[in-house]
A and B are shown apart, each in its own frame.
Chain A
Amino acid sequence: MRGIFCSLRQLSVTYGRGRNAALDGIDLDIAAGERLAIIGESGSGKSTLARTLGGLLPEGAKVGGEMLWPGLGHPPRPGRDFGFVFQDPGSSLNPVLTIGEQIAEGARHHLGFSWKQAYARAEELLGRVRIPQPDKAMRAFPHQLSGGQRQRVAIAAAIAAKPALLIADEATSALDVVVQAEIVRLLDGLVREDGMTLLFITHDIALASGFVDRIAVFRNARLVEAGSVRSVLSAPKSDYTAALIASHRDLTTPPLIEEVAS
């Protein structure tokens, strides 16, 4: 039985002006070392959950309820205790700094490395995220890389300081389908190797189900259901989850528009 890494009790978040809650009374436990997918459509509150856990909410946001961190004993420190990967790799990286520096700075700040040590770790991480020719890549700039490569760099930068938790907020949504699969494989491998807890936020239930342990479904700021992948997919407790699963389209699904019989 794994220990609990994080425990949410009646967590609620309201943004500055709106009266509608972005998150409403969420009760959820996150086990240490597990891979948990947060599934939801736009406006479901999944990104808000990610930002709240990371303390990255904008000013004026009001948080109610509790977030307990038995795994750490204190709220997580950005970089040191958790890493965050954003949706758009193009804008996550600073265009005027080398990618080597952007990976190394986290290691230097949190692990007390010298720049030399930090750069060595950065190069090692570039290898782990499968960037070709890591030594040359260290001096490259973000605009010289493709979208998928940039996201790999962002992941490397996020885990540079060896955090216990990795939050991927729609990290694959802006990428091509083939690249999505590669990134998912990469994330899976990394968290297994380092024993990290992974929070994978997405709207694509099929993509997530391929590799995570548990799924939590969100809708309209509420948690609809949570459970292991197998149980949620085979026996969804709510109609909404069933609809999500049913509306998943692949090549075996019958076409939406029937061809006119000639």
Chain B
Amino acid sequence: MSRLLRTPEGVIGFAILLVLLSAGLLAPILSPGDPLKIAGRALLTPFTDPAFPLGTDRLGRDVLAGLLYGARTSLAVGLAAAFSAMVLGLCVGMAAGFAGGLVDEALMRVVDAFQIVPAFLLALAFVSTIGVSTPIIVIAIALGTWADPARLTRAQVLAIREQDYVASARVIGMHPAEIAFREILPNALPPVLALSATIVAGAILTEAALSFLGLGNPNIATWGSMIAEGRSVLRSASYLSVIPGAALAMTVLGVHLFSEGLGKALGDNGARAA
């Protein structure tokens, strides 16, 4: 942890994520009430009215409130989707790597199928067919992204299986399941975990794009829908689209920086251990 904070990337990334996490968690306190309710005059520009520091939209909704509650959505959906994708990917990858043979082939064809269909298109089709509730959106995004971790996990398992320390474990007579969980899994995890940052960032962007196109949950505030709303007044009140987008960009940047810092911190550790 301290090593992480020594890298500039780690510090900035951590700071950004901390701000976002607090914004999301403290949203009900900082901006009580429903962010989607009409709060004041419409189309107030930012920094003009102290009651509405970031202005209001076409319907008079508070932009700051939307921003804070939107942070919740983005982070929650992003993390949940990434987590599900990772778990699913790990399970399938391990199964394929261990089973080998026909099971491996079949599973890899399925992984191929999910990698070939563009993730966004898949999520689009899924959400539009099933519904726009938040759990469905999480599943839709996870379905588009679990293929990469699965493939990586399988590659790791295959490589580690051939290592000498696994062979010696087998010779000693360790049960295959024990070998899987005590020898192979801990060594397969690190590169897959390194992937998690990209997945979280991607999930956040996909959620935003979905709600931008009108396929988000209409009952909660999301940055994507705010950007979409701002399109109709793009010429006169461009800030309505620019501000939530900037927040999105900051979030993704924070995730990337954090993971780069983490990578550097762990990388040094790995090099020393080697």
Decide if A and B touch, CB cutoff 8 A: no
Interfacial residues, chain A to chain B (CB-CB below 8 A) = none
Interfacial residues, chain B to chain A (CB-CB below 8 A) = none
